[in-house]
Amino acid sequence: MAGYGIKDVPHVSLDDDEKSSLQTADPVQAALMAEAVIAVTERDEVIGPMSKLQAHRGPGVFHRAFSLLLFNTKGEMLLQKRSADKVTFPGVWANACCSHPLHAPAELEEANASGVKQAAVRKLEQELGIDPSSISPDSMTFMTKMRYAARMNRTWIEREVDHILVLTADVDVKPNPNEVAEVAWVSHDELEAMLLEERPAHDAVAPWFRCIAARIMTEDWWQHHADPAALAGLADDLIHDMGDVSHMLPGAEGADLLTSIMEVKPLIEQRIEHSLRASRHERLGNAMMHLIEGGGKRMRATLPWLIAKAVGEAHSGLLDIGAAIETVHNFTLVHDDIMDDDELRRGRNAVHVEYGMPTAINAGDAMLAIAFERLVQAENLEPHDVAPLVNRIAWMVRRVSEGQQLDIEFEDRLDVSEDDYLEMIEGKTAVMFLICAEIGARISGADEETVQLMADWGKAVGLCFQLMDDVIDVLSDSETLGKPAGSDIAQGKRTLMVIHALRQPEGPVKDRLLAVLGKGDDVNEEALNDGLAALSELGSVDYAKSMAEQYHAQAHACLNRIEDGPALVALRELTDFQLARLH
């Protein structure tokens, strides 16, 4: 068994793209990336088989794992240093055996943690050459579970619901060099010293083992390692939420924005759907889900998580907060489309077009209430954190409403100033980014200076985002936008570009803009395109882009004050997002 191949275990065929991603990997280890691991939900509910490669590549997928802590009768714990041939996390020190049960009947068995124990026997032989007859699954004690994510680089990530086992046995260890580079038996004090050392990337402690050793196991585990009955008394049925612990690996490389969003986007969308589908009225539930089902980048929803990863500790409660904020955002879009009389959103009918005006208004109202329900039920929040959190979200909703009201009134005003416009977009758009960033930092445990710094970053990004959104409305086509191009001009919206253009001297170019500004459905496509061209000729588009670039620079200046880490890659890309859409 120590030299088993992929044909000896359940596996999933890899496609050409997946095989190509392993071209430079060790052939034996590359082949084993086809092993059929067990994809699970956050709560360890089985979804089905999945290749080890798919579970670990790109955004990754939660899958079932085990971590075996092996003691000898002298009270020492066995550690292994993973082989340099490993595809994921080569060269790091971890517990004796950490791997995956496979999607097979014996290893799927959940009673008494039988499946993960069977998998541990298999892997102890395959990795460490330990004779299966010298150990028994019955002598292993299941202690608890933990859920975590740890990114190694832009390509590979570990996302596991890890079952932690303890075994005491005096065994002969014959490491498989393709799996294990070194082994060491360590005392409690030696492990503690190892955890405190600053170790280089090639000799680091694996993030998952650091979580177990530093956050979960206690001195009692060491004291009672050889007493299964005492260990059983220390066990629990919890899934300890470790969040994202990529920062624990020296030299870890962060993923791009899209990959970082996709790590948690499905989890947030599941929360949103669970909340919105809970309505007892099917039509109301469908109306509330209409925009959610239309897609969306979910940048606001994932932002609290992304911020927390960068400045503190991330946990699943941030996903609940993100789901609440995304629900609020979509509530504002439902009502925004009604007020602006926009018929399309994200390439599909607006909610009031699809379900009628009364249902759309009712759906928006219900979404706001449901968002606060999700917020107060967020996981891992201390009771004293809930009231301030609700207060800040409520303040955000009020500011968004005030910004929207200014936007409505500006359509009938000719004297809108730049300061008026900036106040409007701060409320309508920027405060949502500000609050997402502020909350993400605060919930992560960051200090007050960092919380304010990230709030400043969010405000600058939000202002840049809205300025560039206005520009994109002018420069993009309807298919790209998912709504009519130039609709803001036809509706007479006082964007910064329009405010700048109206300040320009009278003349034929300005007259071409005035011929379509605020004329609504009376403007044909040819005339609207000519009015948009006039806006550019007046220098107004460049003026707005220049101001957006100033806020873009302010946002990057905030990030420059944050300690560098893998999570900053995505935040910098998010800062560049709107400007990049024009290049």
Q: What pLDDT is attached to residue 481?
A: 46
Please identify which residue in the block is written with the tokens 């599941």: 270
Q: What are phi and psi of 538, to 5 degrees?
A: -80, -5
pLDDT at 23 over 70: yes
Mean pLDDT of 106-117: 98
Report the number of distinct structural domains present in the chain.
Answer: 2
Interatomic CA distance for residues 475 and 459, integer angstroms: 24
Same domain? For 310 and 194 the reply is: no
Same domain? For 80 and 63 the reply is: yes
pLDDT at 158 over 50: yes
Q: What pLDDT is attached to residue 2?
A: 58
Residue 1 within a domain: no
Q: Residue 160 belongs to what H/E stretch?
A: strand 157-168
pLDDT at 497 over 90: yes
pLDDT tens-digit series, residues 377-400: 999 998 889 999 999 999 999 999
pLDDT at 525 over 90: no
Q: Read off the CATH number of the domain in which 509 is found.
A: 1.10.600.10
pLDDT tens-digit series, residues 452-482: 999 999 999 999 999 998 998 888 764 454 4
Same domain? For 239 and 269 the reply is: no
Minimal CA–CA distance to 107: which of 95, 122, 96? Answer: 122
Six token digits for residue 49: 């088989």
3-state DSSP helix/strand/coil % of the chain, to nearest 5: 55, 15, 30
Give the up-direction half-sphere exposure of residue 396: CA atoms within 13 A in the CB hemisphere: 30
Same domain? For 404 and 492 the reply is: yes
Residue 224: domain span:
6-248
Residue 82 within a domain: yes
Q: What pLDDT is attached to residue 477?
A: 60
Residue 237 within a domain: yes
Mean pLDDT of 201-222: 96
Residue 289 within a domain: yes
Interatomic CA distance for residues 518 and 489, integer angstroms: 6
pLDDT tens-digit series, residues 417-427: 999 999 999 99
Same domain? For 346 and 458 the reply is: yes
pLDDT category at 484 given cuts 50, 70, 90 is low
Q: What pLDDT is attached to residue 220?
A: 97
Q: What pLDDT is attached to residue 582?
A: 65
Mean pLDDT of 325-351: 91
Same domain? For 154 and 227 the reply is: yes
Mean pLDDT of 105-130: 97
pLDDT category at 485 given cuts 50, 70, 90 is low
Average pLDDT, rounded, for the chain: 94
Q: Which of 199, 214, 248 is the last residue of a domain?
A: 248
Q: Which of 227, 248, 269 is the last residue of a domain?
A: 248
| pTM beyond cutoff 0.85 | yes
Same domain? For 437 and 351 the reply is: yes
Q: Read off the CATH number of the domain in which 17 is found.
A: 3.90.79.10
Lowest mean pLDDT among 68-77, 84-93, 331-340, 448-457: 331-340
Q: What pLDDT is attached to residue 247?
A: 95
Same domain? For 157 and 59 the reply is: yes
Q: Which of 220, 248, 276 is the last residue of a domain?
A: 248
Same domain? For 121 and 208 the reply is: yes
Same domain? For 289 and 229 the reply is: no
Residue 553 within a domain: yes
Looking at the chain, the whole-number percentage of residues with pLDDT higher than 70 is 98
Same domain? For 323 and 443 the reply is: yes
